[in-house]
Amino acid sequence: MKFVVNEPSKIPDPDSVICSYCKKTIAEFINDKMIPDPETCYKNGNIPVPNFGWLCSFECAEKIEKKLDIKFMRTPEGKIDYYQA
Ligand SMILES: [Zn+2]
């Protein structure tokens, strides 16, 4: 599984990964490594969105959809998950 959610130049704060909506810290970059690693964040319920960024929760995803007038892809179960196997 490979997570590519942002080009490095688009990351406003390269020291950490934050929720695109509430700005909560999801992970930190330590020696260019994401801690916890992306797979762990994903398992913990954080939502990576390709070419967009990370969201800490489904609630934040819905709020930012409304705020930006966008729609993320949904799985048949209604989840936002671009990395489902
Ligand atoms: Zn959030």
Three-state secondary-structure class, residue 24: coil
Determine the pLDDT at residue 55. Answer: 97
DSSP SS3 for 84:
coil
Q: Which residues surround ligand 1, an ion (CB under 5 A)?
A: 19, 21-22, 24, 56, 60
Q: Are strands 16-18 and 25-30 parallel, antiparallel or unpaired?
A: antiparallel
The domain limits of the chain are 8-68
Share the mean pLDDT of the chain.
88
Question: How far does the centroid of ligand 1 lie from the alpha carbon of residue 3, in Å?
Answer: 19
The Cα 1–Cα 19 span in angstroms is 21
pLDDT at 3: 67
Tell me which residue of 5, 3, 80 sits closest to 50, measured CA to CA.
5
**Cβ–Cβ < 8 Å for 10, 45:** no
Predicted TM-score of the model (pTM)? 0.80
Cα-to-centroid distance, 23 and ligand 1 (Å): 6
